[in-house]
Copies of this chain bind each other. A is one copy, B any other.
């Protein structure tokens, strides 16, 4: 079943990878199914068998993305801080997935391949937040706050809105931000890590330009 001309044998994966690459190049909607099919050397309707339609392809991307995402967050070990860093790391390293996952109008969020993976990721986030505060009444707020900070930094970074993005490693940057923001809530934590990473060449020079390189 390896190679002839008719049965591609691997179309599903190849189309997914082509989609991921195209998303990386032109955003989640800046490409056409036909173009991907051409790249894969296949007729323009071949993908329909695997994904149904374009939305189906994006649904598959989201499903795979949430799955990888959940795994990455789980690997962070439940510590709130590392979960936040892992969140940003995933967004930066797998931006093609990320840019689809949080735009539910692009795919079918209720798809059975998507929902469980997303729930798995959500559980890790909720668990991380729970370590932030002994008071359960604040759990939800703390969770959403940390989630917002990590998510917002990731989005701003990916959109190029942070002018100094090119100079700093985003993961380090994320650590500084999380330390500054949530250090006072950590188990026994102050905001000690800030001194380490920001110290030297980081002239504050406020950006009054419009950002976006």
Contacts and interface: CB of A to CB of B under 8 A. Distances in A.
A154 B129 CA distance: 19
A153 B152 contact: yes
A152 B84 CA distance: 13
A35 interface: no
A64 interface: no
Binding site secondary structure of chain A: helix
A10 interface: no
21 contacts: A26-B105, A27-B103, A29-B29, A119-B209, A122-B208, A122-B210, A122-B211, A126-B206, A126-B208, A137-B198, A137-B202, A137-B204, A139-B204, A140-B206, A141-B176, A141-B180, A143-B206, A148-B152, A148-B177, A155-B155, A181-B182
Given A139-B206, A141-B198, A144-B162, 18 more contacts: A27-B105, A102-B155, A103-B159, A115-B210, A118-B212, A122-B208, A126-B207, A130-B206, A137-B199, A138-B194, A144-B156, A145-B149, A145-B177, A145-B180, A148-B148, A148-B156, A149-B152, A184-B191
Interface of A: 26-27, 29-30, 102-106, 109, 115-116, 118-119, 122-123, 126-127, 129-130, 136-145, 147-156, 159-162, 164, 173, 176-177, 180-182, 184-185, 191, 194, 198-199, 202, 204, 206-212
